Amino acid sequence: MTHAEPVYEHPYPPAELESEHPFRVLDFVEYPPDEMAERAAAFEALMTRRRSPRLFSDRPVPRELIESAIRTAATAPSGAHKQPWRFVATKSAEVKTAIRAAAEEEERVNYLESRMNDEWQEALAPIGTDHHKEFLELAPWIVVLFEERFERRPDGETRKNYYVKESVGIAAGIFISALHNMGLATLTHTPSPMAFLTRMLGRPDNERPFVMFPIGYPLPDVKVPDFDRKPLDEVMVMVDEPAD
How would DSSP label each residue in 117-157? -HHHHHHHTTTT--S--THHHHSSEEEEEEEESEEE-TTS-
Please report, in tens digits, the pLDDT of each residue of the chain (244 residues total). Answer: 688 999 999 999 999 999 999 999 999 999 999 999 999 999 999 999 999 999 999 999 999 999 999 999 999 999 999 999 999 999 999 999 999 999 999 999 988 888 888 898 898 888 888 999 999 999 999 999 999 999 998 888 999 999 999 999 999 999 999 999 999 999 999 988 999 999 999 999 999 999 999 999 999 999 999 999 999 999 999 999 999 8
Tell whether 26 is covered by a domain. no
The confidence score (pLDDT) of residue 2 equals: 80
Tell whether 175 is covered by a domain. yes
Structural domains of the chain, count: 1
Tell whether 24 is covered by a domain. no
The confidence score (pLDDT) of residue 1 equals: 67
Q: Is the pTM of this model over 0.85?
A: yes
H/E element, 173? helix 164-182
Tell whether 185 is covered by a domain. yes
Model confidence over 95-144: pLDDT tens digits? 999 999 999 999 999 888 888 888 988 988 888 889 999 999 999 999 99
Model confidence over 148-169: pLDDT tens digits? 999 998 888 999 999 999 999 9
Tell whether 198 is covered by a domain. yes
The confidence score (pLDDT) of residue 86 equals: 98
Which residues span the domain enclosing 101? 52-219
Q: At 212, which CATH number?
A: 3.40.109.10
Residues whose CB is less than 8 angstroms from the CB of residue 135 and which lie 6 or more positions away in sequence, other chains included: 54, 55, 56, 187, 214
Tell whether 227 is covered by a domain. no
Tell whether 123 is covered by a domain. yes
Tell whether 13 is covered by a domain. no
Residues whose CB is less than 8 angstroms from the CB of residue 175 and which lie 6 or more positions away in sequence, other chains included: 69, 70, 72, 73, 87, 143, 145, 213
